[in-house]
Amino acid sequence: MTETTETAEALEVPLRETHAPPAPPHRVWTVALAGLGALLCALDIVVVATALPALQADFGASLSQLEWTINAYNLVFACLTLTGAALGDRFGRRRMYVTGLAVFTLASAAAGLAGDSGQLIAARVVQGAGAAVLLPLTLTLISEAFPAEKRGVAIGVWGGVTGLGVAAGPVLGGAVTEGLSWQWIFWLNVPLGLAMLPLAARKLTESFGPRPTSTSSAWCWPPSG
């Protein structure tokens, strides 16, 4: 009878431990901040397109100037993305995420304050540089925070939020331009960016990329004689 009771108790132990533990808080914050950072960058790729008629009416801009309000962001963003990822590996991913977010937020405010097309294009260049640092590090931070077996779900959330930003950009840009003014498509980034900055500095975990190492054998002179 005693052996039967002990066997039953041994079988009950695994059943009590089947509940998965909740995700650590830093992982939740990492997904939230990475998703919001990716959303901001993705929105500003396409959000300006529906505001072009309003920009032409306010600035009297030519067709080429209107094109550059979009292309300035996209070109700088595309050209500097690898550089932004490398800076994160070298100087710290959290540090460069915060830096990229600060640059993006300040450039958004400058774009909202632009008085002519030249100022707006210049602000969009700086905004693209900030996004080039910000966006690649959102995915790197997620990959660093989650183990391999749980990384797929987190990356799926990140991808869904990024796709939502690209899809909703024209709709949001048109609604904001019609309901408020074209400046607000940039001003909306500012309070969100300012709220994210202290959270990112406190909640994200710092990490670095692999450093290249040199082996002593690579620098050995061949034996003489």
pLDDT tens digits along 34-47: 889 998 888 888 88
Higher pLDDT, 78 or 2: 78
Count of other CB atoms within 10 angstroms of residue 197: 16
- Tell me, what's the pLDDT at 132? 94
Q: What is the pLDDT of residues 69-117, one digit of tens each?
A: 889 999 999 999 999 999 999 999 999 999 999 999 999 999 999 888 8
- Tell me, what's the pLDDT at 220? 38
Query: Can you tell me the mean pLDDT for 135-144?
Result: 88
* Pairwise CA distance, residues 85 & 144, whole Å: 13
Q: What is the pLDDT of residues 163-202, one digit of tens each?
A: 888 888 888 888 888 888 888 999 999 999 999 999 999 9
Query: Can you tell me the mean pLDDT for 5-22?
Result: 47
Q: Is 46 exposed, middle or buried (0-12, 13-18, 19+ CB in 10 A)?
A: buried
Question: What's the chain's average pLDDT?
Answer: 81
pLDDT level of residue 13 (50, 70, 90 thresholds): very low
- Tell me, what's the pLDDT at 156? 86
Tell me how far CA of residue 51 lies from CA of 15, 30, 41, 103, in angstroms: 59, 32, 17, 23
Do residues 103 and 126 lie in contact, with contact meaning Cβ atoms separated by under 8 Å?
yes
Q: Which residue, chain included where needed, has tokens 């995420």?
A: 97
- pLDDT > 90 fraction of the chain, expressed in percent and rounded: 35
Query: Can you tell me the mean pLDDT for 213-225?
Result: 43
pLDDT level of residue 2 (50, 70, 90 thresholds): low
* Pairwise CA distance, residues 159 & 143, whole Å: 13
